[in-house]
Amino acid sequence: MRVPSGKWPSAGVLLVAFSYLMLAGFVAFGFRTPRLERFWELVKQLRIGQVECLQPADWNLVEEVLQSHPAIAGDLLEGRKQTLLSAHHQGWCATACAVLLRAPSTSPGQLRLQLEAPGKSLPLKLRIHGRSWSRELTASNRGLLELELAPAGSLPEVIQIDFDEAMAGDSTEPIRLKVEGAE
C-alpha cells in the first residue's frame, strides 16, 4: 500500500514525535548549569585561590549576574566601597592576580595598592583593567601606589590587577600586593 504524497501523518504519530522532541529539549535544558550556580562556584574558586584570574567568559558571567541581581553585589561588598574576590589574607593577595569588586559610584575613586617586592623584581609592571578601561602601572619602588579611577557608574565594577611573579627571578622573597580598603 502506497501513501499518497503530500498527506500528513496521523495526529497520533505527530503527537508522539512532538513528545520526543520536547523530552530531548527538557533533558538538554536540565544538563545546563544555572548562571547563579556558576557565579557562586566561581566566587568560591576565586576566594580559595583555585581560580587566580578571570577569563573573558568568567568576566562576562560575573558582570551579567551583578547587573541582573544588584543585591548580590551589596552582599559581597558588605557596605564597603570595594572588596577582594581573590584569595587573600587581610588584604594581601594570595595569588598572582587580584580580582576586586567596586561599588557603584558617581564620583571618582582611588585604588591604593601596597607593594612588597624583592629589589631584583623592580621595576614591576602591573596591568589594571575594568569593564571598559585598562592601564599599565610601573612600580619602581616598594610601597604605596595610587591610581585614580573614573566613576564606576550605576553598576558594580569588576577590576582585575595582573602582575608577573616570574619577574622576581631567582629570589626566594615573593612579590606581595595588598589592596587597601578591600580587606
Q: Name the pTM for this structure.
A: 0.76
pLDDT band for 91, please (50, 70, 90 cuts).
Answer: confident
Residue 103 has pLDDT above 50, yes or no: yes
Residue 142 has pLDDT above 80, yes or no: yes
Q: What percent of the chain has pLDDT over 70?
A: 92
In whole angstroms, give the CA distance from residue 73 to residue 104: 9
Query: What pLDDT does 167 receive?
Result: 47
Question: Structural domains in the chain?
Answer: 33-179 (2.60.120)
Cα 176 from chain centre: 21
Query: What pLDDT does 169 receive?
Result: 47
Chain segment 40-52, per-residue pLDDT in tens: 999 999 999 999 9
In whole angstroms, give the CA distance from residue 80 to residue 71: 14
Provide the 3-class DSSP secondary structure of residue 158.
strand
**How would DSSP label each residue in 10-23?**
PHHHHHHHHHHHHH
Sheet holding 157-163, edge to edge: 82-84, 97-102, 157-163, 124-129, 134-139
